[in-house]
Every structure is written in C-alpha cells, then in structure tokens.
Amino acid sequence: MIVQLKNNVKKEQTNQLILWLQAMGVETHITEGSLHTIIGLVGDTSKLDIDMIKALEIVENVQRIQEPYKNANRMFHEDDTVIEVGGAKIGGGNFLAIAGPCSVETEEQIIEVALAVKAAGAGMLRGGAFKPRTSPYSFQGLGPEGIRLLVEAKKASGLPIVTEIMDLSQLKYFDDVDVIQIGARNMQNFELLKEMGHTGKPILLKRGLSSTLEELLMSAEYIMAGGNEQVILCERGIRTFETYTRNTLDVSAIPVLKGRTHLPIILDPSHGTGVAKYVKPMSMAAAAAGADGLIIEVHNNPARALCDGPQSLTPDAFRKLMQDVDRIVEVVRGTKA
Amino acid sequence: MIVQLKNNVKKEQTNQLILWLQAMGVETHITEGSLHTIIGLVGDTSKLDIDMIKALEIVENVQRIQEPYKNANRMFHEDDTVIEVGGAKIGGGNFLAIAGPCSVETEEQIIEVALAVKAAGAGMLRGGAFKPRTSPYSFQGLGPEGIRLLVEAKKASGLPIVTEIMDLSQLKYFDDVDVIQIGARNMQNFELLKEMGHTGKPILLKRGLSSTLEELLMSAEYIMAGGNEQVILCERGIRTFETYTRNTLDVSAIPVLKGRTHLPIILDPSHGTGVAKYVKPMSMAAAAAGADGLIIEVHNNPARALCDGPQSLTPDAFRKLMQDVDRIVEVVRGTKA
Amino acid sequence: MIVQLKNNVKKEQTNQLILWLQAMGVETHITEGSLHTIIGLVGDTSKLDIDMIKALEIVENVQRIQEPYKNANRMFHEDDTVIEVGGAKIGGGNFLAIAGPCSVETEEQIIEVALAVKAAGAGMLRGGAFKPRTSPYSFQGLGPEGIRLLVEAKKASGLPIVTEIMDLSQLKYFDDVDVIQIGARNMQNFELLKEMGHTGKPILLKRGLSSTLEELLMSAEYIMAGGNEQVILCERGIRTFETYTRNTLDVSAIPVLKGRTHLPIILDPSHGTGVAKYVKPMSMAAAAAGADGLIIEVHNNPARALCDGPQSLTPDAFRKLMQDVDRIVEVVRGTKA
Amino acid sequence: MIVQLKNNVKKEQTNQLILWLQAMGVETHITEGSLHTIIGLVGDTSKLDIDMIKALEIVENVQRIQEPYKNANRMFHEDDTVIEVGGAKIGGGNFLAIAGPCSVETEEQIIEVALAVKAAGAGMLRGGAFKPRTSPYSFQGLGPEGIRLLVEAKKASGLPIVTEIMDLSQLKYFDDVDVIQIGARNMQNFELLKEMGHTGKPILLKRGLSSTLEELLMSAEYIMAGGNEQVILCERGIRTFETYTRNTLDVSAIPVLKGRTHLPIILDPSHGTGVAKYVKPMSMAAAAAGADGLIIEVHNNPARALCDGPQSLTPDAFRKLMQDVDRIVEVVRGTKA
C-alpha cells in the first residue's frame, strides 16, 4: 500500500503515523520528495482499513498494491479449487453445464426439462422458485412450492439442484437444495453473504450488474471468511450503454479471475445477452476463454414461459449446443498439454 | 404499449393474441405494413407483464409508451407528496437538510454532532448503525447499540432520526427510528422493500449505483404497493467511467423525477462525490435544480472518522453551507412565483 | 417507425402531419386511444430524419422499428461480404489474422516482425505510423517514414499492410497501403468517413470506446454511402467501470453484428484487454463466437516497445496462439455443417 | 510516480532501471519489501512516457501521483485564466452565457435569434454551420454559407460568434469566427487539436461523451502545448446507462476541474439533457456549482427546427432563465466574500 501525504505535513505528524502503521503489523518505507512524501507499506495489508487511512487529516491519497482479499486470492492458494456436488464436479479442469428453466412452473414442466437437460449432458439442474422482479406486478415465483418441485425433479433425474435465495427468511426451505445461488442484485447483500459462510453448501455467487471483479472477489471473501470455501463465481453480464443486448457479457472476466483466484468461474450467456440466438456463440466463447462451466436457461416451451422467455433455449437447441461446446472444451484442454 | 409481430405470422395467431390482450383489459389497434405488423395497446398497461409478451413466439419486440409504475406516477397523483416527521416536513416546497456522521461511534460523538447540525439548521439526524462495507475486514457499525445511541441523540436534540436497515432480521431494532433508510445496494432487495410497505414509517430509498431512474421508481412502487405512500427518493451518485469522483452525482435526476413522480427527492453529495470539498458546490447545485432536500455527512472530527471520512464536513463547514444553500432555495422559490 | 402524439393535439394538426409523412413516401396507420394517439409509419423509413420529427410541436416521442442503416443492413444484402486484399480474404467463412507491432520503429524491426507473423500464419501486417496518443508529450509515431518502412516490410514478406489514418491531410501517404484503418477515436470523424467512401480501398473501421453497435453501423454507412462497400468492422473494447482490464472487450458484438450486417467482423484482443496474457483466451473466445478474424499486436522485443508494450505478444507466443485459434475455427466451421 | 517491480527482478536490472530514470531527470527512492520492490519517482514526471515504463519487462505496474498535464495545471498557474472576446469576458468571476440555434438555417433566423439572445443577456452567439450527424442521411449543416450568415448576425447584433470545426480542411472559413468550437466527437482528434494551438483564437473544447476529465485536460494540453493558452472547457453530458436523459450531465465536473485547472469551465445543459424542460434547472445547477458560463440552444421556432429541436428553448424561455441564473450567480459571488 502506498500512502501519499499532503504537502505541508509536520515531521512529528509523519512520525506518529508511521508508529501507528507499524503497530498494525506492517513495515514502512519513506520516500521524501520536494513536492510529496510517500510511505510504502509492506507486509500483509489486506486487513488494513483503507478508508480509515484516507480519512486521516495528513493523508492526500492511498493506493493499494496488494489485493484486499485473502481467502479467495490465488497468491495464497495456488491450486484450483474443485467443488463436488452430488457426483458433479466443477473447477480444476472439470467443466460443468447447469441448465433449466428461468422459473419452476409445474411438476410436469420441471421434470421434463430435468430429464431433457440431463440427456443432453448437463450436470446440474437450475430453476427459479423465488424470483427477483423489477416490478411488483410481475410473477414472483412459486416460492417454497417451487423448491418442492425442484426436489421432485432431482429425484426423477438424479441431477443436483441450484436455486436462488433472496432473503435470509427463506433459508429454511433450502435444506434439500444442493447449491444456493446469490443473484446479481444481492451480490452486496452482506448479511446474506455472511450467513452463506455458515451453510456448509456450495454457493453460486453472481456478479452484480455494475460490480467490479474486485468487488465480486470481496463478496466471495465475505462467504469464505465465515468458513465456507465452496464458492462458484458467475459472470452474467454488466450494465453498459449498449442496447442491442440486455447486458454486456464480460468474457474477459474469465482469464482475469483465473489469474487472481482459485475459485471456479462460470458464465451465464442467457441473462448476459437476453437473446436466445446469442446463447450458443457466447457459450462457445466462454468455453474457449477457459470457463469452468455454463449456466443456461432451457425451457420446454419457450413460447409460453412465464418469465425471461426470450433468452431460453429449447431442449433440442441445448443438446446441439452441448455437443459443440464439448468440442471447444476439448481444444482448450489440448492447449494446456 | 406497442407490440411488433414477426414477419411471417399467420392471421390466426395474430387474432388469438388480440383476443388474449383484450381479455387482459386493454384495447388493441392494428397496423399492418408490407414488412411489419404492429399492435398498439391502449388503456391501463401498467400491470401487463412485458416479459411474458416478449416471450411469445410470434412477437418480435415490445415497447412501452406508458410508465410501468402507478402509485408513484405523477400522472395519477398531480400534487407533490409532503412527508412530515417529528415536526420536519419535506416535499411540496419544504426543503429539509438531513445531517450527521457516517457511523455512530460514541454517545458523546453523536450527541455533539446532533446539537451542532440542529444549530446549523438541519431538520433530521442521520447516522449509520448497520454499515454495508465492501470488505468483511472493515468496521461494520455498532449495530443495535448504534441505534440506541441515535435515540439518545434524538432525545438530546429533538431531531428525528434516520438510519439504514440492511436485512429484515434487523427490523426489530427500528421501533424508535423515525425514517428507515434503504441503501443503494439494497434498492432491489425486493423482500426488504415489500416489508417496508407495511412499516407505517417513511422510507428513504437510495438509488442503486447502476440503477436507472425507472428502476428507482419501480422500487418505490414495491413499497407503495404494500400501502406505504411515504417514500423519499435519494440520488447518491451513479457508477461511470470517471475516476476523479467516487461516483457521478446525477443532478438531472431531480428535474427528471419531479416530472414523473409526486414523491420528494433529495441528493446525497457526500457519497455522490466522495470528497469533502465538492460537497458544498454540489449541495448548491442540488438546491438550484429544485431538490426537496439534502443528506450530508457531518463529523465532529473528520481526521479520526472510522469510515467514509474523506467526504465528511466539519460542523462549521456545514453551518456555512446551510447559509448559502438557504439563499439558493430562496431564489428557486422566487422563480415559481 | 412509431410516432406518438401529445395528448391535446387537434385533429387538423394530426392530419397535416400525416399528409407530410405520406409525402415523404411512407404509409401511415393511426391508433387512437383515450390517452394517446399513435401513428405507425410503414415503408422505407431509413432516410427520415428522426430528430426533425421529434422536434415537431405535436410529437411526444418517436421510436424506430426498422434499423436506420441500409447499405450495411443484412436485410437488404443477405450474403456475407467477402473482402480480398493481396491474396488475403476475409468474411464469408474466411478467417484472417492481422498482426504486427503497435508502432513502426525501424526497418529491421518491422521486417523481422512481418516475416515472423507471416510464418505463424498471419495474412496481413499491421503497424502504426501515425499514432493517436492521449498526451502531447508521448511518442506520436514516425509518420510518413513509418509508412515507407511498412511498404518495405510488405515487399520483404509479401503481406498486405494496414495502418491508421488520423487526418485527411495524411491521405497522400496512403497510396501503397492496402487497407486504411479508422481508429476508435475517429469512428465519428464524419469528414474522414465521407472521404473513405471515395478511396476505393478496404477500410478497417474500429468501434469507438463508447459507441453503440448501431453507431458503428451508421459510421460504416457513411463510408458505404460514398460508394465503398469494403468495410471491415472491428470490436476493440468499450469503456466500462471495470478496472482490471483497460477496456471491456464486447465479444457479443460478433453475433449481434453478424445478425444485422453482411460486413466482416474482427476483434482486437490486444487493445481490448491491454494485457498480454489475456490476448490468447480472448482470441480463442472471438474465434469461438464466430469472428471473421483478429488483429493482434506482436513485437519482437516487448520489453523495449515505444508504446502499448504491455499488451504485445512475442512472435513465439503468437505462433502458438495461431495454432490453437485454428483448431477453434475448425470446430466453428463444423457446427455450420 | 510509483513504479512497482515484478517479484523476481535481479538487483542488476533494478540498478539499470534506476540509472535510466535518473537520466530522465527525476529523483528515485527505493522501498524493498519481502514481496514487492517499489521505486518512487520525484520531480517533474509529466513528460515521462508512462506506457513505455509499463512496457519494461521488470515492471509490474506504474501509478501516477502527479497529474500528467502541465500548462493546464492550476498547481503551476494559480490564478484563473480570463478570456476576453469582443467585449465578452469569461473566467475569474466573469459569467458568460452563449446562446443560439443548433443549426444556422437562414439569415432571417440567425439575426432574429442573435438580437433576441443579446437582449436577454447573452454575451456570445452560437450556431452550427458544420454539423456532426450520426446518420449520413441527416441534414449536415449549411457549411461555409452558414458561417457567412453567422458573420452577418455578428454585424447585426454586435455579439462575437462561436461555431464548430469538424476537419482541418474547414479552417479557411473561420477567419471571422471569434471562438472555434471542438465538438465532443473530436475531443481526441489530435491533429485538429495541434492545429488549434496555432490559431491564436480562443478554443471552446467540449468533453467527449465517454472521456474522463483527465483526458479532457490532456486535450486542452495539446492545444496549450502549441502556444494557445485560451481554452474554454465545456461539460456537455457523458454516456451512462440512464435513458430518461440523452446523456448524464456531470455537474460535479465544475468543482473537480476548478480545483485542477485555471481554465474557464462552462456547461451545455441543452445537449447534456436533450430535453428543453430540463435546461433551466440544469442551468441553475451549473451556476450554483460555480460554472463560468453556459452554452444554450435557443431557436425562434422550436417546432420547425431542422435538428436537435427537442432541447431548444424559445427566446422568451431563455430570457426568463437568464434572470433566474443571474440571481444564482449573485448568490455564488456572495459566498466567496
């Protein structure tokens, strides 16, 4: 960390600051110029409160050199984390496709989709029971009943299930859910994140619409600081000025995160683009960039879906997509040899 | 609402869609061109699920003409809403300054600040008890004890108090809080919003970092749909590419919202800029643009603040700011005459 | 196009507007509701001035249904455009890699790189002679001498060359340049675009940092309206709030543009990410998403490059990248069968 | 400037780098930690090429402490620059309103508007002769004839005139133009900027749609490095995700720029919002935040304007606006006393 002091600071004040910083357990190195004095901090600075230092009267600016996350940091955990759920593995070279409808609607629907996506090669079933909707007048999901239907589909298909939690009060319904999803709008719902640290279940953490990758890693850190190391990161599109797509899917998040963290990273091309015909090319792109998996919306009748239909694939389109994605994954594995 | 059909739709399908739309209670008007067929929907379309219509197989695109919110819409509620809290009024020509520290730290601190900001002209006291922090290693606020101290400051100063709720589990501590704040990161925490609709207390709703003004109004609509019409909207800066300020304070949100809603609108120049010396010019700008109030961070010792210090004003600076802002408010009132 | 009238418009005014629109050669269809009157315009609306209609006193809003570009529109030109330059082909299933240094520095340097990238499979040589730099104090390129050296490298390697023009006054130096590049900062330099319409040379048009894809297509339309149909579109990263990459490379631009235009589309992963180690995964992603080519910075000595070095590959890294990208291109071709 | 070295750098390499940096005329101070080595550079670093240093093999990262602009920097030029044009003054406490139509259309129109805005208190006349339009099919301005008509309006009204240049080839028509405008799309047209450095005329430099304030200052630096110190900076809205306004007018640009540069700063609320009814509140906000002036679109017949009509004021609305803005300017002047 680099602390830049204001121009007219007294020697005495500088010395006090240095003693205080050393008491926090970091080494200090001073650079005195004619215009600026700079203090370099060396050691474990991840637990220093940067805002607190910025707030000091004699400080002009503070810049971080080291990342502010530790548990999620590849620097301190070199090997890829591999997460295993009901036979499905993700990370460390294991590619996982998660598929299913936006919303769970009926038992028939969810079981039909579960069997179809399993046959096509998916390793996990997704489906919304609690749905975050912009309008209070839109369909809000089946709630606990939706989770019950997901569990039926799990029994019928053998696929582990992932579904979104929107509030801590819903946690009691998640006993039979294999992976808990934190949606983009809740990526910085810190109370929810803290509690996820104590669930013992893998967490699928989606990047917020306008969150930086550093903030995504800090939110993972919230979960991991509670003792839960099983976090799957998910890029699902960020908000930009472009209007032809619903969001801009940040494919470069994959190599950037791969370099900084050991956690698995997946992409959501369905929400990321909002358009069914872009799901395949973006799935191919994600696999080629080295993603550990995909989460894709598949519906047995896109024309009647209660929500998010425009971005859903038919089971048949999903099956063909999986075949092509598999070939890309194979090429990527070959490049590592 | 304008529904554009795909190119090769059969007459039969179009007719079925029209019958279904009419059953939803809206009038339909068809425009058939050589390339495109368009259906115009007239009537109350605010409760139509636009995503559901987009999902229909024969639909190419849907565009809204009317706003998707109703309770918050000025079209159906022409007069400004005036909210009254413990003697303080906001909206309908009443300008309210809310001030106080980022975090409540000690009883001495919060009472000292409360008395100082009251003397300077503030009508409400703010102070954080539950603090949303990006890092799990940063100070997270005093929690329930912080609220207890705020209530002490309320007794000592006579000022009503506003503080942030981060999760429904904290609601039990808010009995003596006058106005409940929903922070930017929770603007789309829909379960929290729904519950706010049943509290009977005014809600201070902050715009999300990357939320459109329409989304802000939809979140207000969540609260209002539950029966609580007392919502104060707060612009606090949006995320852009600019780096000299922490966020970009969207001053134009004031006239834009004034035209669309009857709810009061305030600005937060402290979080919006992140720099103490920009708080005054942006407060002046907000007042000049017609804001109903301001929420400003004031600390009795900025150099030692536990969080967000760089953007806090001293009580003395706040007092001078209030004097100048008052003159601006007076000019603005004059323009209406 | 949909024209929405204001609430209190007189029948007479509406009729006048309709007659005027019909005189512009479009059919009109009226939808009269209790709250709003809407006029649907059918026919060729691409040459209507939308701003002029918006400016009419009786008009509330105007929304386009049809795209505002015609020459670039796939709707009117179904087959992919294939551009051929000195033996190199791009578009319609032909994948082209363009490679070379950020700046031309010396004859030895540019010839060495040209031979290396040709051996690795590149079909065109790039190199900057006129360099757009944010600071007036940064190296601005060798200018005409840089173009002379590029032509020498073309002779030595047989590769056609592409280089950037920054101002019309430089056009006289481009006689022996095969493809003229319009950089991101000049994407809306309309005088330059118009003149490019008369050059008879293929134009490589880069998307502006904050330009929508529609604006990119409109800039292509400027060139094409002048009679030059040979435009290669290039996505090179857009400006977002993310800071771990220099820009956010919008990979979804590929399928989006593919659907809307017949022009070839390439990606620039070097400028798009700004980091050498992300160039390979993003090149793989681009190929997998269906790009027609790549433009990549390759330098014979990255450690001494005069500009943009952090994002340049060594010739050896580029050679390996080409091998893997080729495998991806093969998979993508297989999916079309 | 702070240079952070990679982890495994040899002492010899570090020493070579230090000698090289010292040869560039800056002092160096080293901080060696267990994980990172950091070199602090002290002295005039504004002419160091940061990209070149970043490109060095042993360098991990470079961060600037000092601003990269010098002529525009208030640190080296404490007093406000005052620019005087034909009797009109701007900067240093002089507030200047520039007004006129988006496009010059006819002699009658431009003279009528000129007389009206002068009577209302404007100190300079604006009007577009060369118009940057997104579509090649939109009206492109009257060109040289437009400038001739502006000059007629100048004679008739006595107001100095400002109009936009789009390309160096148009410079020959600007002899009688008092202030040359560089539009947002040309803010980084570096050849144009360089030439503006030799014109001897004041330059009105508009911020690019997605340009940071630092980039705006660097573009001013291009002009000033050529010897022309008369640069007026103009904030005219940046591109964000918000859709209710055409752009987001960054009012905070005023205090931010005031702190960093001595050049005058004005706002363009017409283009910044794109909506006539927001022009007044945003003009008030700009004045309250300390702007040195405004540039506002005024048209004698908004309903028939050939371009950008929706954001134009009538002369009467402009007259009332000026009265209220004057009162705000007065309050702001009072705060400085």
Model pLDDT for residues A180-230, shown as the tens digit of each residue: 999 999 999 999 999 999 999 999 999 999 999 999 999 999 999 999 999
B221 and A168 within 8 Å at the Cβ level: the answer is no
DSSP 8-class letter at A10: -
Residue D15 CB-density burial (10 A; 0-12 exposed, 13-18 middle, 19+ buried): exposed
Please tell me if residue D46 touches chain C, with a CB cutoff of 8 Å.
yes
Residue C222 contacts by C-beta under 8 Å, 6 or more apart in sequence? C190, C193, C194, C196, C197, D136
Distance from CA of A192 to the nearest CA of C (A): 24
A34 and D42 within 8 Å at the Cβ level: the answer is yes
Radius of gyration of chain D (CA): 23
> What integer pLDDT is reported at residue D306 of this predicted model?
47
Alpha helices for D234-305 (secondary structure H): 253-260, 269-273, 276-288
The model's pTM? 0.90
As a whole number of angstroms, the distance between CA D223 and CA D192 comes to 9
Instruction: Report residue A26's pLDDT band, with 50, 70 and 90 as the boundaries.
Output: confident
Please tell me if residue D22 touches chain A, with a CB cutoff of 8 Å.
no
Tokens at A232, concatenated: 């799957």
Q: For residues D68-82, give the mean pLDDT.
A: 92
- CA A291 vs CA A283, A284, B88: distances in Å: 9, 10, 55
Residue A129 contacts by C-beta under 8 Å, 6 or more apart in sequence? A103, A104, A141, A142, A143, A144, A145, A146, A147, A149, A150, A163, A164, A173
**For a pLDDT cut of 90, what percent of chain C falls above it?**
69
Q: For residues D136-144, give the mean pLDDT.
A: 90
C63 and B31 within 8 Å at the Cβ level: the answer is no
Among D254, D207, D256, D205, residue whose Cα is nearest residue D231: D205
> What integer pLDDT is reported at residue B263 of this predicted model?
98
Instruction: Report residue A337's pLDDT band, with 50, 70 and 90 as the boundaries.
Output: very low
Among D274, D284, D123, D295, residue whose Cα is nearest residue D205: D295
A277 and C255 within 8 Å at the Cβ level: the answer is yes
Would you tell me how many other CB atoms lie within 10 Å of the CB of residue A198?
A: 11
> What integer pLDDT is reported at residue B33 of this predicted model?
67
Per-range mean pLDDT, top range of A46-55, A64-73, B108-117? B108-117
B65 and C4 within 8 Å at the Cβ level: the answer is yes
At D9, is the secondary structure helix, strand, or coil? coil
A189 and B186 within 8 Å at the Cβ level: the answer is yes
DSSP 8-class letter at B81: P
Please tell me if residue B8 touches chain D, with a CB cutoff of 8 Å.
no
> What integer pLDDT is reported at residue C283 of this predicted model?
98
- Is pLDDT of A79 > 80? yes
Instruction: Point out the residue among A49, A137, A305 whose CB comes nearest to the CB of B46.
Output: A137
Would you tell me how many other CB atoms lie within 10 Å of the CB of residue B274?
A: 20
Q: What is the pLDDT along chain B (337 residues), one digit of tens a residue?
A: 778 888 778 888 888 888 878 877 788 878 776 666 778 787 777 767 777 787 677 888 787 767 788 899 998 899 999 999 988 999 999 999 999 999 999 999 999 999 999 999 999 999 999 999 988 888 889 999 999 999 999 999 999 999 999 999 999 999 999 999 999 999 999 999 999 999 999 999 999 999 999 999 999 999 999 999 999 999 999 999 999 999 999 999 999 999 999 999 999 999 999 889 999 999 999 999 999 999 999 988 755 544 446 788 999 999 999 999 999 999 999 985 4
Residues 107..146 of B with a Cβ closer than 8 Å to A: which? 132-140
- CA D223 vs CA C208, D199, D200, D228: distances in Å: 23, 10, 10, 6
Tokens at C327, concatenated: 């495998």
As a whole number of angstroms, the distance between CA D107 and CA B159 comes to 62
User: How long is chain C?
Assistant: 337
Instruction: Point out the residue among B32, B34, B40 whose CB comes nearest to the CB of C38.
Output: B40
> What integer pLDDT is reported at residue B337 of this predicted model?
46
Residues of D in contact with B252 (CB under 8 A): 245, 248-249, 272-273, 278, 281-282
- CA C15 vs CA A19, C11, C21, C173, D295: distances in Å: 81, 6, 10, 56, 36
As a whole number of angstroms, the distance between CA A16 and CA C162 comes to 59
**Residue D277 φ then ψ, to 5°:** -75, -10
Instruction: Point out the residue among B242, B254, B331 whose CB comes nearest to the CB of D327.
Output: B331
> What integer pLDDT is reported at residue A306 of this predicted model?
47
- Is pLDDT of D264 > 80? yes
Tokens at D265, concatenated: 């700063």
C167 and D191 within 8 Å at the Cβ level: the answer is yes
As a whole number of angstroms, the distance between CA D122 and CA C258 comes to 50
Per-residue pLDDT tens over the stretch D209-229: 999 999 999 999 999 999 999
Residue whose tokens read 């894809």: C213
Residues 169..198 of A with a Cβ closer than 8 Å to D: which? none
One-letter amino acid of C249: L
Please tell me if residue A31 touches chain D, with a CB cutoff of 8 Å.
yes
Please tell me if residue D2 touches chain A, with a CB cutoff of 8 Å.
yes
User: Residue A197 in contact with residue A227, Cβ under 8 Å?
Assistant: yes
As a whole number of angstroms, the distance between CA B201 and CA B175 comes to 10
Residue D35 CB-density burial (10 A; 0-12 exposed, 13-18 middle, 19+ buried): exposed
Task: Walk across the sheet containing A2-5 and list its strands.
Answer: A27-32, A37-42, A2-5, A59-63
Q: Which of B215, B284, B329 to mutate to test the interface with D (most CBs of D within 10 A)?
A: B284
Q: Which of D2, D60, D75, D242 to mutate to test the interface with A (most CBs of A within 10 A)?
A: D2
User: How long is chain D?
Assistant: 337
> What integer pLDDT is reported at residue B306 of this predicted model?
47
User: How long is chain A?
Assistant: 337
User: How long is chain B?
Assistant: 337
More reliable by pLDDT, C38 or D65: C38
Distance from CA of C35 to the nearest CA of B (A): 8
Per-residue pLDDT tens over the stretch C78-97: 999 999 998 899 999 999 99
Instruction: Report residue A5's pLDDT band, with 50, 70 and 90 as the boundaries.
Output: confident
Please tell me if residue C243 touches chain D, with a CB cutoff of 8 Å.
no
> What integer pLDDT is reported at residue D33 of this predicted model?
67
> What integer pLDDT is reported at residue A259 of this predicted model?
95
As a whole number of angstroms, the distance between CA A51 and CA A53 comes to 5
> What integer pLDDT is reported at residue D304 of this predicted model?
55
Strands C2-5 and C37-42: what pairing?
antiparallel
Q: What angle do CA B185, B133, B239 make, to 5 degrees?
A: 45
As a whole number of angstroms, the distance between CA B112 and CA C264 comes to 67
ipTM: 0.89
The helix (run of H) or strand (run of E) holding residue B108 is: helix B107-120
One-letter amino acid of D241: F
Q: For residues C170-191, give the mean pLDDT.
A: 97
Residues of C in contact with B40 (CB under 8 A): 31, 33, 38, 40
